[in-house]
Amino acid sequence: MKFDASFYLDRVVDKRLRQYLQAFGAVSVEGPKWCGKTTTCLSQANTSVEISDPANNYAVRTLARLDPAQLFVGDPPILLDEWQVAPGIWDAVRHDVDESRARGKFMLCGSAGPQKKVLHSGAGRIARLKMRTMTLFESGVSSGDVSFQGLMNGDKASGIAANGTNLDGITDWICRGGWPATIHDSFEQAALTPRQYIDTVCNFSNEVDEEDEERINPDRMRALLAAIARSVASPVRKVTLIQDTDETYRPSKKDSVETSYKTLDRYYAVLRRLYLIEEQHAWSPALRSSVRLRRSPKIHLTDPSLAAAALGATPTSLKRDFKTLGLLFESLVNHDLDVYASSFGARVMHYIDNSDLECDEIVELPDGGWGAFEVKLSADKIDAAAASLNAVEAKMIAGGQEPPRCKCVIVGTFNRAYTRPDGVRVVPLATLRP
């Protein structure tokens, strides 16, 4: 594998990867296929080993399974790509790091979790770094005028979006996705990637779960992906997914219920292993009052284009279905905020309580500080979103929570960032950067 710096597009995760290599003996970069993991790791590697290289009847893979330490030759950092096909590599790397006490020696890159459990978690030796598909900033769509970290530090909002703050631009972003290989392709070419991705997942999931006695049914997997896509950016219960995917489900029969839940868990586990599921967990504020919270996570696919592809959606059909478009836009916002937040150690969650007071995105900083964000596709919803943010702030303060560091409406069809008199920032998604 060779790295060509002239074609490399900088990624938000680059800085974090450098920091982890300085602090840990090894870094495991995890994420879905085609999101750019290998290229990003190659940009910082001095030696690379492709475990799945088919040369000489997969000689490297055979050696990796027999004696992984034989591959640890060369100048560090050493990239071990697709390590999960030989799970013993993980424990061999952990042992080598223990013995050598070296830092920044290995990068492990994989687009699926290992089929067999590793013997040791690697805690303290192997850092885990999540990678997603490209954000609007990374792909060159966002102007980058507004810093997300700056907003969380109390900065005012100011800036202009240069590209695509209309429905045509938004539906294009959603359906083509943030796949690095297609960033410069026409829409017609780029939109083929998420569709092909869905087909590949449905038809080749057994390669991920090949040791399972029961085979993955492609039609059922496709139905599950479509059910998840219909519920994207929303709290979802297992029973809802079962009702959408399992024609044999009979809630009145115990055996039927147990079988249906077991089957769903198995298929869901495959999607987890492929890094295709993102769960946006509920935020639990440190309140003195007894606020009853709803704790179900919201569900997302790792890139909004996969949800669109699973539904068979196109820009034209989305512009006729504003409810679905709004949910997919919220998923796009969550995707980008999650990438930006991870660059400075923050987490993105959501909030909803039993009085139906909710907030689309809660960003929690490492020191416990927090920010509240509402997502609106169009500018005519800004006033309502700001009122909701102010209501969340008032309730949190009344319950003993510190005020939010930031209140912000992320909007789609609007091109100018500004700060309202009530302190709420209004920021087009196409102006954000980390």
Secondary structure (DSSP) of 231-286 = TTTEE--HHHHHHHH-TT--TT-HHHHHHHHHHHHHHHHHHHHTT-EEEEPBP---
The pLDDT confidence band at residue 53, using thresholds 50, 70 and 90, is confident
Predicted confidence (pLDDT) per residue in 109-156, tens digit: 988 876 655 555 667 789 999 999 999 999 999 999 999 999 999 999
Look at residue 7 in the predicted model and tell me its pLDDT.
Answer: 84
**Of 236, 207, 50, nearest in space to 115 by CA:** 207
CB contact at 8 A, 412 and 149 = no
For residues 184, 189, 190 and 196, what is the CA-based torsion angle, rounded to 10 degrees? Answer: -140
Q: How many residues does this entry show for the chain?
A: 434
| Other Cβ atoms within 10 Å of 216 Cβ, number | 20
Helical pair 304-311 and 218-230, crossing angle rounded to 10 deg? 120
Contact 151, 411 (CB under 8 A): no
**pLDDT attached to residue 282:** 93
pLDDT digits (tens, 9 = 90+) for 249-265: 787 777 778 888 999 99
Over residues 356-384, mean pLDDT: 96
pLDDT (0 to 100) of residue 6: 77
- Band (pLDDT 50/70/90 cuts) for residue 356 is confident
Radius of gyration (C-alpha) of the chain in whole angstroms: 22
pLDDT score for 268: 94
**Average pLDDT score over the chain:** 91
* Tokens 């115990």, located at residue: 254
* Inter-helix orientation angle 218-230/238-245, to 10°: 130
Domains recognised in the chain with CATH numbers: 5-130 (3.40.50.300), 146-191+279-433 (no CATH)
pLDDT of the residue at 55: 87
Residue 286 confidence (pLDDT) above 90: no
Cβ-contact 179, 35 below 8 angstroms: yes
- For the chain, the distance separating the N- and C-terminal CA atoms, rounded to the nearest angstrom, is 30
Region 61-88 average pLDDT: 94
Comparing 354 with 43, the larger pLDDT belongs to 43
What is the reported pLDDT for 185?
Answer: 96
CA distance 205 to 237: 23
Using the predicted structure, report yes or no on whether residue 311 has a pLDDT greater than 80: yes
434 touches 147 (CB < 8 A): yes
Inform me whether the pLDDT recorded for 289 exceeds 60: no
Instruction: Give residue 402's pLDDT.
Output: 93
Closest CA to 314 of 426, 183, 433, 167: 167
- Token pair, residue 188, equals 């017609």
Q: Which pLDDT score is estimated for 117?
A: 57
Cα–Cα distance list, 397 to 265, 353, 385 (Å)? 39, 15, 19
| Neighbouring-strand partners of residue 159 | 417
Among 42-56, 151-165, 275-289, the range scoring the smallest mean pLDDT is 275-289
Q: How far apart are CA 73 and CA 90, in angstroms?
A: 16
The pLDDT of residue 83 is above 80: yes
d(CA 376, CA 385): 8
pLDDT, residue 82, reads: 92
Query: 425 pLDDT exceeds 60?
Result: yes
User: Token pair for residue 121?
Assistant: 């978690």
Residue 337 near residue 329, CB atoms below 8 Å? no
**Measured CA distances, 136 to 13, 62, 261, 363 (Å):** 14, 40, 37, 19
- Closest by CA position to 429, among listed 371, 370, 376, 393: 376
* Range with lowest mean pLDDT among 15-29, 104-118, 227-241, 383-397: 104-118
pLDDT at 288 over 70: no
| pLDDT for 434 | 97
357 vs 57: which has the higher pLDDT: 357
In this predicted structure, the answer to whether residue 291 has a pLDDT above a threshold of 80 is no
Report the pLDDT value the prediction gives residue 54, as an integer from 0 to 100.
87
Whether the predicted pLDDT of 25 surpasses 90: yes
Dihedral class, residue 275 (left if φ above 0, else alpha if ψ from -120 to 50, else beta): left
The rounded Cα 424 to chain-centroid distance in angstroms is 27
- pLDDT, one tens digit per residue, over 210-251 is 555 578 899 999 999 999 999 999 988 888 899 888 877 787
- Give CA–CA dist 44/21, Å, rounded: 9
